[in-house]
Chain A
Amino acid sequence: MSVLAAGLAGLLTGFTRLLTGATARWIGCAPAGVQRIYFANHTSHADFVLIWASLPPVLRRMTRPVAGADYWEKDRVRRFIIHEVLRGVCIDRTRQAGSEDPIDVIVAALNGGDSLILFPEGTRNTTDEPLLPLKSGLFHVASQRPDVELVPVWMENLGRVLPKGEAIPVPLLCSVNFGAPIRLAPGEDKAVFLDRSRRALLDLAVSVRPG
């Protein structure tokens, strides 16, 4: 990592802390150095940075966010942030002919030994629903690498910090909640697995609401 990227990474985490408190709560598992896929609800562009900032520095260095190339490859600043600072794995969500299969890209990143942050809803949730239906990507990745732990992560409040279409974030306390890991059972059906994963996220959401 270059000095500029490292400096920017420090600045981003510091700024995120100031805005959100970036409180990590390890409810269902401990922050351990095993290979994992953190799958989380997605409400804002700041999600990447929030999860990333809430991980202990040792884990942060071995965790890469999976990001949509259509958004992050758009200009030089975004490209620099996603590749150099966040070490992101960019996937093509448009599925044009000739482009690389997103699943292959993700699995290749896992084979490199790193953990990943994945937003299985596929896009930002701007509805009043707590969670969109999950895309099948999580299932395909899990069936190719069933050995990797899948950790549900629920982020509370971040959607209000930076709603879609706004440029300036509002400071609000956010919590990042890590639930109990799940795994794809041998022979488990795609719909059953995705439903189970979605339920894991929603159960976690209910358990962390204050009051």
Chain B
Amino acid sequence: MLVAGILGVLVFASAVGLALKLRIARGAPHAVIDNLNARIKAWWMMTAAIGLALLAGKGGVIALFAFASFVALREYATITPTRHGDHRALVVGFFLILPLQYYLVWIEWYGLYSIFIPVYAFLTLPILAALSGDARDYLSRTAGIQWGLMITVFCISHIPALLMLDIPGYEGRNGFLLVFLILVVQSSDVLQYVWGKLLGKRKIAPELSPSKTVEGFLGGVASATALGAALWWITPFSPGTAALMSLVIALMGFLGGLVMSAIKRDRGVKDWGALIEGHGGVLDRLDSLCFSAPIFFHLVRYWWSL
């Protein structure tokens, strides 16, 4: 039923996208409609990837999100100013810290994977940069790398970590927690976009992200909360707590998008895949999940797991 629902929504979205393209744009290039269609296409791919990973089990899910972290970190590092002295730190970040973090998730060592990057990487990377002997912009360079690892590796790794939570009476169904998180946060993104396009007037942060409006924000978060509440039966939550959880992760998702927009604005790019023409980056789709995943993980772990 869940699968049928998701596929139904995707088919409907594609049909609407195609109809808009034919009716309004008449096949000609149209910024808003093309953007919408690109998003819908990304959605199909995301759904297929996550579906296959869930079928493949724990290993598949970890591999998928490790790869997502890799691509996201690559996008992040691309637009972050680093110098030759940061090379070692970046190599260690990509080829040691990233795989190790996912390995720790794989062996379910919660005590270490929840502090590995905030403590060990945090202390190691500035040492490597200092050993290179280049002091120019030192603090902003090292802080930039640490921040990138936190967002793209640490935060994203909390999505597959949901599979490992031990929830009494919910054994073997943890995959649904992951689906719940991604579905609520991603539909909140899309619904904010749709509400904003339909009714949006007052801009929330015109300096950071001109497309975010009060109307889009309220409509999107409210409807995503309603959707989450309606999905309570796939979660260990009651309908009321499912609504509350959805509200929290939709809010975090919105705020995450705002933070990531501030970074893009600061670096002078429109989207994270700026170097790939015509496509947004992976981080443009994952920014809201980066911020909501760790919070969701800890809320569930604290109140529901053993």
Contact = CB atoms under 8 A, between A and B. Distances in A.
A60 interface: no
Contacts of A23: 275-277
A190 interface: no
Give the most central of B74, B95, B268: most A CB within 10 Å.
B74
Interface in B44-96: 70, 73-75, 77-79, 82, 84, 87, 90-91, 94-95
A73 interface: no
Interface string A163-199: 1001010111111000000000000000000000000
Contacts of B77: 170-172
A151 B98 CA distance: 39
Interface string A145-173: 00000000000110010010010101111
Contact of B276 (A160, A171, A173): A173
A211 B95 contact: no
A133 interface: no
B275 A21 contact: yes
B84 A170 contact: no
A79 interface: no
B94 A170 contact: yes
A160 to B, nearest CB: 7
Interface in B213-268: 267-268
A173 to B, nearest CB: 4
Give the most central of A156, A157, A171, A174: most B CB within 10 Å.
A171
A18 to B, nearest CB: 9
Interface residues of A, number: 17
Contact of A210 (B74, B87, B94, B275): B275
Given A21-B276, A156-B275, A160-B82, A172 B268 contact: no
A25 B277 CA distance: 8
Contacts of A211: 267-270, 274
Contact of B87 (A156, A163, A171, A174): A163
A157 B78 contact: yes
Interface in B269-287: 269-270, 273-277
Nearest to A175: B275
Contact of B275 (A168, A170, A171, A174): A174
Nearest to B264: A211
B266 to A, nearest CB: 10
A139 B275 CA distance: 32
Contacts of A25: 277
A163 B91 CA distance: 12
A171 B267 contact: no
Give the most central of B75, B78, B84, B268: most A CB within 10 Å.
B78
Contacts of B84: 163
B94 A171 contact: yes
Nearest to B95: A168
Nearest to A168: B91
Contacts of B70: 171
A173 B74 CA distance: 7
B152 to A, nearest CB: 12
A175 B79 CA distance: 13
Nearest to A163: B84
A166 B87 contact: yes
Interface string A96-122: 000000000000000000000000000
A210 B75 CA distance: 13
Contacts of A21: 74, 275-276
A175 B275 CA distance: 6
B34 to A, nearest CB: 19
A153 to B, nearest CB: 15
Contacts of B87: 163, 166, 170
A173 B267 CA distance: 15
28 contacts: A21-B74, A21-B275, A21-B276, A23-B275, A23-B277, A156-B275, A160-B82, A163-B84, A163-B87, A166-B91, A168-B95, A170-B90, A170-B91, A170-B94, A171-B70, A171-B74, A171-B77, A171-B94, A172-B74, A173-B275, A175-B275, A175-B276, A210-B79, A210-B268, A210-B269, A210-B275, A211-B268, A211-B270
Which 10 residue pairs spanning A and B have beta carbons closest together?
Answer: A211-B268, A210-B274, A173-B275, A173-B78, A170-B90, A171-B74, A210-B269, A163-B84, A172-B78, A175-B275
Interface of B: 70, 73-75, 77-79, 82, 84, 87, 90-91, 94-95, 267-270, 273-277
